[in-house]
């Protein structure tokens, strides 16, 4: 439960910063980051690059900007990028890749959204005057459907990209959740991409921001794109200080969110009308359907909110409840109890 008394299961983006983060914000040494003067941001970027195994990193205001900069630094206007049809870059970034980078998006329907290297290879354009050039392959890990992509598949995609001389961008918004599931450090995942976006403000609980990491020359280019997009900020140390704690202190507790998601799935499975997607329980998300009349399901978020529980509407017929730092097991018990009461 958060300090306002809500059991907020809509996303891990709703997490409030820890007390340590708030104190670090107060004490942060700051400067004008457009002049590279903000030592706290410089330290965040250095540390992030180190743990991600990249030459350099850039603090950006959001994961969306991190991904869009990824597309911008790798592509030329008129090119095509290859990505899964459920990719955040395609579905949830307002079509930005087309608007900002001027690229088209070749989307592929993968089984369970797990990349299929053969389908990616088939999507790469031949050298043909009638066709756009393929400019980039994008991956996501963890996936937004609650699964983690195995490292062997990421390796295959990286190899095929290298064979075609194509760069790879990884949307690693939840790369730390993927790392916990795989039992590896984040470098073991980011090694399969040239550039990576990592969100600080999801399960890691920082109030704002993402990291865009990659080779030094691309980070220099990213810095300029960030300025063009209006993301050149000034005393960013106030945000970088909690961001640094997010990277240093918070990954160590993500296994609790994963265990709580398993617990929530078990409790929900006990309800007759609920069908939990048991095969998509790798991280901190539980997906389920509810077998009840449409009228009740349409009212469900409102009925739950009246009981202090926040849930998003269904997406593609599925409910998604997300565990995070501000959710205890007792909150999950209460949420499942209230859902059971409503469903009758």
Q: Residues interacting with ligand PLP, by CB under 6 A?
A: 13, 62-64, 67, 88, 140, 144, 171, 173, 199, 210
Please say which residue, 274 or 283, places its beta carbon nearer to ligand PLP.
283
Please say which residue, 75 or 144, places its beta carbon nearer to ligand PLP.
144
210, 187 Cβ separation under 8 angstroms: no
Please say which residue, 87 or 120, places its beta carbon nearer to ligand PLP.
87
Q: DSSP letter at 315? A: B
- Identify the CA nearest to 151 among candidates 204, 115, 110: 115
- In whole angstroms, what is the distance from residue 272 CA to residue 229 CA? 49
Q: DSSP letter at 133? A: P
Please say which residue, 181 or 336, places its beta carbon nearer to ligand PLP.
181
- In whole angstroms, what is the distance from residue 251 CA to residue 204 CA? 7
| Adjacent-strand bridge partners of 286 | 321
**Cβ 25 to ligand PLP, closest distance in Å?**
19
**Cβ 130 to ligand PLP, closest distance in Å?**
33
- In whole angstroms, what is the distance from residue 319 CA to residue 290 CA? 8
Please say which residue, 322 or 336, places its beta carbon nearer to ligand PLP.
322
**Cβ 46 to ligand PLP, closest distance in Å?**
22
- Identify the CA nearest to 201 among candidates 24, 14, 328, 59: 14
Please say which residue, 276 or 283, places its beta carbon nearer to ligand PLP.
283
**Cβ 12 to ligand PLP, closest distance in Å?**
8
- In whole angstroms, what is the distance from residue 149 CA to residue 273 CA? 30
**Cβ 219 to ligand PLP, closest distance in Å?**
19
**Cβ 285 to ligand PLP, closest distance in Å?**
10
**Cβ 272 to ligand PLP, closest distance in Å?**
31
Burial 260-295 (b: 16+ CB within 10 A, else e): bbebbbebbeebeebebbeebbbbbbbbbebeeeee
Please say which residue, 13 or 262, places its beta carbon nearer to ligand PLP.
13
Structure tokens at 25: 């914000």
């Amino acid at each position: 439960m958060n300090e306002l008394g809500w059991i907020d299961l809509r996303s891990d983006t709703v997490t409030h910063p820890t007390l340590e983060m708030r104190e670090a914000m107060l004490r942060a040494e700051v400067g004008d980051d457009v002049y590279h003067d903000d030592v706290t941001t410089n330290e965040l970027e250095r540390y992030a690059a180190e743990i991600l195994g990249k030459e350099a990193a850039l603090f950006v205001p959001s994961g969306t900007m991190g991904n869009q900069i990824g597309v911008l630094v790798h592509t030329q206007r008129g090119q095509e990028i290859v990505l899964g049809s459920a990719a955040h870059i395609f579905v949830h970034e307002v079509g930005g890749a087309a608007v900002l980078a001027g690229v088209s998006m070749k989307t592929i329907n993968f089984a369970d959204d797990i990349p299929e290297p053969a389908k990616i290879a088939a999507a790469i354009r031949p050298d043909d005057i009638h066709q756009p050039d393929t400019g980039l392959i994008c991956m996501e890990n963890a996936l937004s459907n609650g699964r983690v992509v195995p490292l062997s598949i990421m390796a295959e995609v990286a190899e095929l990209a290298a064979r075609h001389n194509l760069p790879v961008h990884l949307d690693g918004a939840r790369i730390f959740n993927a790392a916990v599931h795989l039992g590896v450090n984040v470098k073991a995942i980011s090694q399969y991409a040239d550039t990576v976006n990592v969100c600080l403000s999801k399960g890691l609980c920082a109030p704002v921001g993402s990291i865009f990491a990659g080779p030094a020359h691309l980070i220099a280019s990213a810095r300029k794109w960030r300025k063009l997009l209006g993301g050149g900020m000034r005393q960013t140390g106030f945000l970088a200080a909690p961001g640094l704690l997010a990277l240093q202190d918070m990954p160590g507790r993500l296994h609790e969110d994963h265990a709580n998601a398993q617990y929530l799935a078990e409790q929900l499975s006990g309800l007759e009308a609920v069908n939990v997607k048991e095969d998509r329980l790798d991280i901190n998300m539980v997906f389920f359907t509810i077998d009840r009349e449409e009228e009740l399901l349409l009212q469900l978020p409102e009925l739950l909110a009246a009981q202090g529980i926040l849930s998003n509407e269904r997406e593609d017929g599925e409910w998604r409840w997300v565990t995070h730092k501000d959710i205890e097991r007792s909150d999950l018990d209460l949420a499942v109890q209230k859902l059971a009461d409503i469903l009758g």
